[in-house]
Structure 1
Amino acid sequence: MESNGGCSSSSRRPVKLCFDDGSEMVADHVIVIVSLGVLKAGILGKSGMFSPPLPSFKTEAISRLGFGVVNKLFLQLDRESENLETFPFLQMVFYWSDSEARNQKIPWWMRKTASLFPIYKNSNVVLSWFAGEEALELESLKDDEILNGVSSTVSSFLSDSKPQNSNGCVNSVECNHSHGKKIKFTRVLRSKWGNNPLFMGSYSYVAVGSSGHDFDLMAEPLPQSSNSDFVEGASPPPLQILFVGEATYRTHYSTTHGAYFSGLTEANRLLQHYLLHH
């Protein structure tokens, strides 16, 4: 993306978009709606996503803010194999130890998920959340590895015997009907936000060294000159590049509605600009 004089002389519009297939498009304004993860990759790339590069206040905010990976895992319960009528809302707490005596049947990527529960009452589809390194590992596993790993974990929690030097225990008041049974799952559906090149993660967070002010900097349009200072022929055209998305909305970052609200904010910014100057 080129702006502020980067376009060919044949166009008076200040922004040029260059696409992978070699085509180009010119515009007065561009609204950038890519994720913070894509922006992070874009400012580090050799070719760069923006030409000229983004100003330092923008790249520093992009670098400081955190962008994590959170994935959902849905599994279909095999009720018939064990005559299991309902699946409990299972809260899991794992015992961590460096000892080799811990339960090796529970894979490491299961040990930071806190719950497994039906998506609605009496549903045979259950849901669990994964974050960080475990979420990325989940994306790389084969379906059979996930099915076996989750089945082993749940069966360990709902077994008759009390765990000894293992890595899990549970208050099983609601699970008596499941004691001694091997819980099985038959199908897997999971999100893969981390390895998706169009997202490269899930959503932003305030990392160590960053603050809420960085979200305000993320939302700052380019160039920085205010509309009131714009004089035809004396200053670069305003609002060439606008930024939207959950990482640009200070009070509702990491949410879908935050991304939606940011879009309304920038659309209104453009409307006010044209009402003022036309």
Structure 2
Amino acid sequence: MRFITHPFPIAAVGWCILAAPAEVTATRRGDNNTIECRRATVAILGAGVAGITAAQTLANASVSDFLIVERNDYIGGRVVHTHFGQKPDGTPYTVELGANWVQGLGSESGPENPIWTLARKHKINNTASNYESILNYDKDGAADFDDLVAAFDEAYAIAEQDSGYVLTDNLQDTSMRAALSLAGWKPKDDMHAQALEWWNWDWETAWSPEQSGFLFGIAGYNLTFYQFSDQNNFVWDQRGFNTFVAGEASEFLEANDSRLLLKTVVTEISYDSGGVIVHFEGGGCIEAEYAIATFSLGVLQNDVVRFDPPLPRWKREAIEQLQMGTYTKIFLQFNETFWDKDTQFLLYADNKTRGYYPVWQSLSAPGFIEESNIIFVTVVDTQSHRIEKQSDEETEAEVMAVLRTMFPDKNIPKPLHFMYPRWSTEKWAYGSYSNWPVGMTLERHQNMRSNVDRLWFAGEATSAQYFGFLHGAWFEGHDVGMRIAGLLGQGGNVSQCDSNSTFGCGRMVNYTDLHGTTFPEEYNVQNGWSKSSFLTYGHGG
């Protein structure tokens, strides 16, 4: 990834493919203007985990006539790293700007997370996160608010059980804030409790409990950490985490493969029941039988790509309702590790602002990039949007003030190196990953997933089970690849598919009309609605 708004180079992956010149053929659009298009059976838009997995799935199903279009100059999408700081020999370290963990590994008796399978296959260096290796801080320096841990855990356990009733009894959903409050967790003005809650919720979802749906907020977490395992392994591989994505691509793409078009910007997608035409910035296009758009939710919400015809309302409603979170890591390198070398995490409770530079991670801790003297702090949501709009100098001043508050007895020097990405303003991402908001239903999310004619969608945001997770992108890419292979007659007999099949079942269901739980006759005085709903909306006499 090249962060255009930030002057730091992206480290090259260990293996790269450059695009060869495309062979073109003439085609004609509806406006009778002749343009030059390259033809393909499937156009895959994006070379992140979803796009590469979809392409690999098609290749494994003997569908090799595809083209992969990628805006950036590398494979991996939001799995991206950069050079940062300096080693004793003068060379830089590698740090991850985007995805950084394998979350939920797998167990001997259960399934294995496919990202963990691929990480082991490509020998990605990683270390287990130990969430008990943590020190607490507040405005007075070192602090002790471990007594709050048991209280939060107890409330969360109650909420977790309540979410099971919401699911099995088809009860009305609510917000995570309401669920925690009902379970007895009410941090209010207790800033220690607010920091602990941020550690347990916002840090994962990139949104606050008020803005997060209860049922799927719990279910999404459980489906990963109960199905696979409760382990989170942090990747610090100096080749970069996206080594596994590029490594998988190398198994079906050759060097200089003309099926990969890097540094190619999609501006418009024309589609109907007969096929898809993908238009590029500066001219050129692809005419395909099918297309798979793996754009981030942020790209779809910000109208970066024009759709012709416009996507139907049922699709646009789903896109606009799902949330795109921003997760910003701020890196600092010092001439020494002045914090505890054996501790992985530091939690700071600001006395005024919730989520103000709260979670710090040491890369100097045992098992990580030892002796690097690198530490980074994470902010999300409104704090991400705030700091990503201000200068590095302003943010560095704020960060250093927090560090000096945490360590009042230390003489902390200016960092040797300082850097952070600006995900919320990056035009090919507009955020980090998705979150399930209050009011989103499974049916409306299915509309987010569903194809429109021969235009398909895949990515972490389209995964109902694993939204926000890297393995969600893998599962969705695999699913759509299998479905299209089936439609092309390469993935099994589509006519034999039924609603219980997992992959390869052709087009997806969508819901053009989604109704609420309140019927028209329930708009009455008994329910506090004394006016006719027809009069309210101007239909009465």
TM-score (norm 1): 0.70
- Equivalence for 2:411: 181
- Equivalence for 1:193: 423
Contact 1:213 1:250 in 2 (8 A): no
User: Gaps (5+ residues) in structure 1?
Assistant: 6-12, 97-107, 160-178, 224-239
Question: Could you tell me how far apart the structure 2 residues matched to 1:250 and 1:264 are?
Answer: 14
Aligned in 2, Cα 1:26/1:71: closer, same or farther, shift over 3 Å? same
1:114 to 341, 358, 361: 358
Question: Could you tell me how far apart the structure 2 residues matched to 1:144 and 1:119 are?
Answer: 23
Q: Deviations over 1:80-111 (max 9, x none)?
A: xxx83745542111112xxxxxxxxxxx7x95
Alignment of 1:75-154 (within 5 A): 75-79=332-336, 84=338, 86=340, 89-96=345-352, 112-121=356-365, 123-154=372-403
Contact 1:215 1:247 in 2 (8 A): no
TM-score (norm 2): 0.38
Question: Could you tell me how far apart the structure 1 residues matched to 2:467 and 2:444 are?
Answer: 11
- Equivalence for 1:28: 289
2:309 to 33, 47, 52: 52
Aligned in 2, Cα 1:18/1:95: closer, same or farther, shift over 3 Å? same
What is the alpha-carbon root mean square deviation over aligned residues? 2.5
The offset of 1:255, in angstroms, is 1.4
Q: Which runs of 4+ in 1 moved over 4 A?
A: 85-88
Question: Could you tell me how far apart the structure 2 residues matched to 1:214 and 1:183 are?
Answer: 51
Query: Partner of 1:155: helix, strand, or coil?
Result: helix
Question: Could you tell me how far apart the structure 2 residues matched to 1:214 and 1:75 are?
Answer: 41
The offset of 1:183, in angstroms, is 5.0
Taking only the aligned residue pairs, the percentage that are identical comes to: 25
The offset of 1:149, in angstroms, is 2.0
Question: Could you tell me how far apart the structure 2 residues matched to 1:183 and 1:212 are?
Answer: 51
- Equivalence for 1:236: none
Question: Could you tell me how far apart the structure 1 residues matched to 2:448 and 2:415 are?
Answer: 43
- Equivalence for 1:206: 436
Task: Establish whether residue 217 from structure 1 lines up as the match of residue 447 from structure 2.
Answer: yes
Aligned in 2, Cα 1:32/1:138: closer, same or farther, shift over 3 Å? same
Per mean C-alpha deviation after superposition, the further-off stretch among 267-276 and 32-41 is 267-276
Q: Deviations over 1:44-64 (max 9, x none)?
A: x8xx71111112211110111
Contact 1:147 1:187 in 2 (8 A): no
- Equivalence for 1:67: 324
Question: Could you tell me how far apart the structure 2 residues matched to 1:150 and 1:63 are?
Answer: 33
The offset of 1:2, in angstroms, is 1.0
Question: Could you tell me how far apart the structure 1 residues matched to 2:339 and 2:441 are?
Answer: 48
Question: Could you tell me how far apart the structure 1 residues matched to 2:460 and 2:364 are?
Answer: 28
Task: Establish whether residue 40 from structure 1 lines up as the match of residue 301 from structure 2.
Answer: yes
Question: Could you tell me how far apart the structure 2 residues matched to 1:56 and 1:71 are?
Answer: 32
Query: Partner of 2:328: helix, strand, or coil?
Result: strand
The offset of 1:194, in angstroms, is 0.7
Aligned in 2, Cα 1:209/1:271: closer, same or farther, shift over 3 Å? same
- Equivalence for 2:106: none
